[in-house]
Structure 1
């Protein structure tokens, strides 16, 4: 199948060479300053975890003392300046990233949500900051970037699920020379985690990846990626996505994802099952969604086969493009199979644009971990979101997310029962 898929891409490349005569992004460059943008995304986040029915009155520890709750509030500022490119055959530009997190509410007994760095006394820091920059070069529709940058590749994706995002450092190359085909690659040697300020805080040694996405038709796209994270694992990722309009207000979509993972070198990320087995597994998911008017109904199935769980994290906390990777659990243990039912409603159809609701339930079984064989777990997520559509606060989003997680076997986290609540207010300020 891989030979056929690469042959199809090669055919598309050959067929698309005539398009090089068209105007490119670099041809249309207005200049370094003229095309620049600057924005600050502000995020206020209340994060609470209630470790219920815990042995010894709690799961997470502070200085060896167990606690039954983690609860913190913070304010994050994510500033990004992106210059345009100088004119000419080779355009040159730069990006600058500035990140600041401020603690609004916490306590020694309530720290540990992952929002802030913690000191040796178990207390969260009052504030923390990080940032960096990158230089970039563009020829036609191909961009080379060197330095600090966010990543979204399915085999190397920076996470943004807390107050501030992860920030990797390295080299990336992205090409959109052919209509419908995106090719990209990267070489990254460090990454700053969400709640830390120093390089290498994710423990990354080196990740190299390459891959691309091709749109065969407006309805059908496919992705293929390869990545190697030194002394951890190598991954192959494939995705097929098909969306079809059934009528003016009805559509159906299918999404298939698969990761093939094997340990590399020292195999630092071991299987959870016994702490010594190296990873050699396949994790795949199939998701179908039917939309009719304001309503979307989704069903998904996911399975992990082979030795060990689907491992990720050192290659980015977002590197898990699987259907059942949700708010609390990823349902990615060795041998685990899981199923999801989800419902979304968009209230714009009923005269309230910007308001939406979501509910989903995932159940997993057959999980083999360090604490159990054939373990079971389930999670229920509820979400309400409203985005202001006009006026001085236009684009301000307000979100409430609640997750209930249970596992009688303690499949993950050493905690069989967790109730999680997040209140998120986010406002993007576009200055340039």
Structure 2
């Protein structure tokens, strides 16, 4: 793991933000440039009981302060436009100890202690021709086969090349080759590995390759998706998805359906993988109310594979339990309320309950699990604290085959537009 001092990161960010002025005469490169700085204060606590597995630590609790600097240039003028994006990230420990480390907010040193600080600076060259863009360098893709998992103090990044093309109206085509990753609580570049369900695998891959497309039609109320991904020598995966939104009087009905098929790839560094996953999430929205029901099922001889340590778009996956173990079936009921409907804009609450059974535990009994989530977020709308965001998350998760979890998160965030 690579670590930089705070002062070095500050100097590097300053230097990176100054680079575009060398090309000021290029026109749109500077005129369309933007820069933001987000401050994120993150408290995370997980209490474990009925602990399963070799790690008998009963609590993971950390508190950190993060800073995320994002610079996005415009493009040079001409048929081929060139630009640069840069991201600088700094995480600072506010509280941690060896008996509570491992919450995913901070790197963990060899002595079991959370690092005092960690940082990263990355940049990507971007080239645009018509409505197609090529990026080389530091990337943050958000795909059905590699979801952008910004669920801790700092977001993860990947290093490689990607393209996005919108040459045909309604059709977005994407592809990429990623050679390494910087995890959410690390500063250096690492090779990628897989998770099967909740379990990280030992084998490391040299690359993640993907290609796919999304086609929106019916006034953008309907979209179809088809994707292929390969974590070289570990697994390959196919995805088909459908999303639809249908107005019905004062209601808006929605459907989000998806199917994954995954197999072991090449040298099979994580062993045999054979999984088919189906999810469905149906919604009904009226005013500030949105109701959801979901069903998700795993088939095959293994749990669902994904790149470590990401979440996925599976309908019933949440950041605590994944509900993606071998043969697992799960059901969800969820209710969201946007208080703007009663004159309190910026305040949103979510209540969710997920229950599962039929898990093949390989221990002679059927695994079951359930989870209850409560999320409340508020963005201050005016005054000196305008745009300050507050989010509270409380979770109770119980299972007969894995550790029970009681979880609390408190996140304060503010994004300052620099230019």
TM-score range normalised by the length of the shorter chain: 0.7 to 0.9
Give the unaligned 5+ runs of structure 2: 1-25, 193-203
Is the CA contact (8 Å cut-off) linking 1:372 and 1:409 kept in structure 2?
A: no
| 2:411 is equivalent to residue 424 of structure 1 | yes
Q: TM-score, normalised by structure 1?
A: 0.85
- Out of 236, 240, 243, the position equivalent to 2:242 is 240
Equivalents in 1 of 2:318, 2:130: separation in Å? 38
Is the CA contact (8 Å cut-off) linking 1:60 and 1:68 kept in structure 2?
A: no
- Out of 290, 293, 299, the position equivalent to 2:287 is 293
State the match for 2:318 in structure 1.
326
1:20-419 equivalences under 5 Å are 30-54=27-51, 61=55, 66-200=56-190, 202=192, 203-218=204-219, 219-247=221-249, 249-270=250-271, 278-314=272-308, 317-318=310-311, 320-369=312-361, 371=363, 373-410=365-402, 415=403, 417-419=404-406
1:243-280 C-alpha deviation (Å, 9 max, x unpaired): 01112x4110011011110110122234xxxxxxx112
SS of corresponding position for 1:178: coil
Q: Give the deviation of 1:30 after TM superposition.
A: 4.9
CA RMSD of aligned residues (A): 1.6
SS of corresponding position for 2:31: coil
Is the CA contact (8 Å cut-off) linking 2:147 and 2:313 kept in structure 1?
A: no
Equivalents in 1 of 2:323, 2:276: separation in Å? 13
Q: Give the aligned length.
A: 382
CA pair 111-197 structure 1, distance change in 2 beyond 3 A: same
Q: Give the deviation of 1:60 after TM superposition.
A: 7.5
Q: Give the deviation of 1:322 after TM superposition.
A: 0.6
Q: TM-score, normalised by structure 2?
A: 0.88
Equivalents in 1 of 2:417, 2:167: separation in Å? 29
Q: Give the deviation of 1:424 after TM superposition.
A: 0.7
Is the CA contact (8 Å cut-off) linking 1:283 and 1:310 kept in structure 2?
A: yes
Give the unaligned 5+ runs of structure 1: 1-28, 271-277
1:81-100 C-alpha deviation (Å, 9 max, x unpaired): 11111000001111111010
Q: Give the deviation of 1:156 after TM superposition.
A: 2.2
Equivalents in 2 of 1:253, 1:124: separation in Å? 43
CA pair 283-379 structure 1, distance change in 2 beyond 3 A: same
